[in-house]
Chains A and B, each alone.
Chain A
Amino acid sequence: MKSHSKAAPYLFIGPALILLALFSLFPIVLALIISFTDIDLAGLADYSNISFIGIENYLNIFKDPIFLKSIGNTVFYVVFGVPLVIACSLGIALLINFGTARIFKAFRLVFYMPSITNVVAVAVVWTYLYNPQFGLFNYLLGLVGIPAIPWLQDPTVAKGSLIALAVWRAIGVNMIIFLAALQGIPKTYYEAAQLDGANNWKQLTKITIPLLRYAIFFVSITTMIGWVQFFEEPFVMTDGGPLDSTTSVALFIYRNGFQLSNFGYAAAGSFVLFATIIIITLIQFRLQKKNTDL
């Protein structure tokens, strides 16, 4: 066996690893450091203007009414958004998998389409659809005699409108994951169940759902992590309004970092978010383990 030179593998991983180290790993350390400083635009211009202020950023951020409000909004997004995404994408995947006609393959395309489209374009289109005067949604509601809904103007409705848009975008990818998992279930299981006289509902709850457990776990974890970081929809559609009722934690961080240039303060906020994500992931892994033990 001819051995290759020792340097070869390092040359192959070099470019990718250097970039990852510079733009993913090192920034974490840097973020942690600056979260204990008061760095802002003045500090950026001249490093001697930066001073260490200990955990003051962390203390202040939990007294910031907008931050507290953004936590409440994010909880709202997660509590309603995650189950909706799982239910919709699983439901559609089950229906598509059930269908035998060729047309059912075309449905995969239709439902996947929203997830590949640009968020700005999508937001522009939906803002038009949601428009109180000229929007299609209110016009259609008017046709069946329902009064106009203030889609983006009312604090609570606006949150719901953003969730609807985000669910629309999220169905595709998760549907495909569920479909891949469904196709992995051996057909013989169903044949055996049918011989025993199990109806569709029984087959669904006793065979399909239990065997999809891992896929459901995977989708719920990734979806949950994604929704905790909910950002693009409120950023482009409402910019957090009306009255910060749609501001998410991620949007709060962005705004403090890049619009108000409170880099240290924003970094502290981002670590609160990071810690939350880690805790949620650990809890879900713990729950999953408990479930499989049973």
Chain B
Amino acid sequence: MKTKASDAKKAYRTQQWIAGIILTLGGLLVAIPFIWMILSAFKTESEVLQLTPTLWPETFTTENFIYLFENMNFAVYLRNTIIIVLCSFVGLFFNAMAGYAFAKYKFKGREKLFYLVLATMMIPGQVTMIPVYLILNQMGLTNTMAGVVLPGLVGAFSIFLFRQFMSTIPDELLEAARLDGASEFRVFMQLILPISKPIMAVQGILTFIGGWNSFLWPLIIANDESLYTLSVGLSLLKGQYGGNFALQMAGSTFMVVPIVIIFIIFQKHIIEGYTISGMK
């Protein structure tokens, strides 16, 4: 009997090792593009074009990154991208406000309006792309920062998640604050938002990532290079310097590494966020 138990334990440990090895190989496969990108970004142009590629840069250079800022407008692209990220946080605030009202107020048309919000999630981007462009054109907002930012400012899914979270806040808490004479907006700012920190963290990170990565809408709306974002600039780089892979890898590294760092710092919130949002 005893040997049987130890046999089972042994088999279990072997299985653990096999699972670990499969995941290590898979993980390596998934990580190769990142590793190759970062290493190639520090190589010289001629080293990247060797027929036998080197893994580690022979001559370590930061020339590619300097070139991006001196000969291309990466500083401008970076500034625009940061503006978009900041604006998208205003959108996040609107989402939180709407989610709060749907969760904690009873008002006429609440259910219908909420279904309307949810319905917008079903609409594919390709359907609204052209009419939104025509609307912005009519408003005179093409080729402006407002035109780039406005269409994606609020999102139904984000409103939905805020509502889910905020409906768990007890009503008594709100009543107490109101009895103390706090205005509705103050209740929201000083009571609701601090309580909603977990969902705010998830949404904040996702908003940051979304804003940083925004590509298609800036590409459609901005004709002027001074309005380009990093990703639009990078696609321009791909077209202009098609053969210079070292430079392209430097541009990609510049886009990807900040996101990866932010993700690693806040990953707990993101991954746990899926459990918070009740996506089971």
B-contacting residues of A (Cβ < 8 Å)?
1-2, 4-6, 8-10, 12-13, 15-17, 19-20, 22-28, 30-31, 34, 44, 92, 95-96, 98-101, 103-104, 107-114, 116-129, 131, 133-134, 136, 139, 168, 171, 176-177, 180-181, 183-184, 200, 214-215, 218, 225, 229, 231-232, 236, 250, 253-254, 257-258, 263, 266-267, 270-271, 273-274, 277-278, 281
Contacts and interface: CB of A to CB of B under 8 A. Distances in A.
B154 A15 contact: yes
A23 B15 CA distance: 52
Contacts, number: 272
Interface in B103-146: 105, 107, 110, 113, 116-117, 119-120, 122-135, 137
Contacts of A111: 26-27, 30
A176 B143 CA distance: 38
> For chain B, what secondary structure do more than half of its interface residues adopt (helix, strand, loop), or is it mixed?
helix
Interface of B: 15-16, 19-20, 22-23, 26-27, 30-34, 36-37, 40, 48-49, 51-53, 91, 94-95, 97-98, 100-102, 105, 107, 110, 113, 116-117, 119-120, 122-135, 137, 150-151, 153-154, 156, 159, 175, 178-179, 184, 188, 209, 212-213, 215-216, 220, 230-232, 234-235, 237-238, 245, 248-249, 251-252, 255-256, 259-260, 263-264, 267, 270-271, 274-275, 279-280
A121 B234 contact: yes
B36 A110 contact: no
User: Lowest 9 A-B CB distances belong to which pairs?
Assistant: A12-B101, A27-B131, A9-B105, A16-B98, A30-B131, A121-B252, A24-B120, A27-B128, A9-B107
B36 A125 contact: yes
Given A13-B98, A20-B120, A104-B23, A120 B153 contact: no
B116 A25 contact: yes
Contact of B19 (A95, A119, A215): A95
Nearest to A31: B131
A186 to B, nearest CB: 13
A30 B238 CA distance: 35
A25 B264 CA distance: 37
B278 to A, nearest CB: 9
Contacts of B40: 128
A20 B118 CA distance: 11
Nearest to B277: A180
A26 B267 CA distance: 37
Given A23-B151, A31-B127, A236-B235, A113 B263 contact: yes
Contact of B130 (A128, A181, A267): A267
A17 B98 contact: yes
A124 B252 contact: yes
Is the contact region of chain A dominated by helix, strand, or loop, or is it mixed?
helix
A45 to B, nearest CB: 10
Contacts of B279: 177, 180, 218
10 contacts: A16-B98, A31-B131, A107-B27, A112-B271, A125-B33, A127-B238, A128-B245, A168-B30, A181-B280, A236-B238
A27 B126 contact: no
